[in-house]
Amino acid sequence: AAGVIQSPRHLIKEKRETATLKCYPIPRHDTVYWYQQGPGQDPQFLISFYEKMQSDKGSIPDRFSAQQFSDYHSELNMSSLELGDSALYFCASSLGHPGYNEQFFGPGTRLTVL
């Protein structure tokens, strides 16, 4: 069965650079979520989209922005990167209204900021 696809899988950036993470949800899934997992920590919710509209926002820095496109894929744009942004970034998708159904996670993008 098709799973959530994230690209790139690994990304190394310098401080103050920008990064773009991409997420392709499971076919037919119309809700996308972004989470950040720091070393040894549990995932923290960043932002979610349903039918191309932002549905909820968590502890996402103002330096980050995201959107969901007409084909339901999503991109997380991160600017002015800081050392503390180094983490595993997960995208998840679900079918229908946010939270109603099971969330399926992608393999993650490991971002390292030097």
Partner 1 sequence: KQEVTQIPAALSVPEGENLVLNCSFTDSAIYNLQWFRQDPGKGLTSLLLIQSSQREQTSGRLNASLDKSSGRSTLYIAASQPGDSATYLCAVSWNAGGTSYGKLTFGQGTILTVHP
Instruction: State whether residue 7 is helix, strand or coil.
Output: strand
Q: Is 103 in the site for partner 1 (CB under 8 A)?
A: yes
Q: Is 35 in the site for partner 1 (CB under 8 A)?
A: yes
* Alpha carbons 26 and 32: distance in angstroms, whole number: 10
95, exposed or middle or buried, with CB in 10 Å at 0-12, 13-18, 19+? middle
Beta bridge partners of 11: 111
- Cβ-based nearer residue to partner 1, 35 or 72: 35
Q: Using CB under 8 A, which of 56, 65, 69, 77 touches partner 1?
A: 56
CB of 31 to partner 1, least distance (A): 6
Site for partner 1, rule CB under 8 A: 31, 33, 35, 41-45, 48, 50, 55-56, 58, 88, 90, 92, 94, 97-108, 110
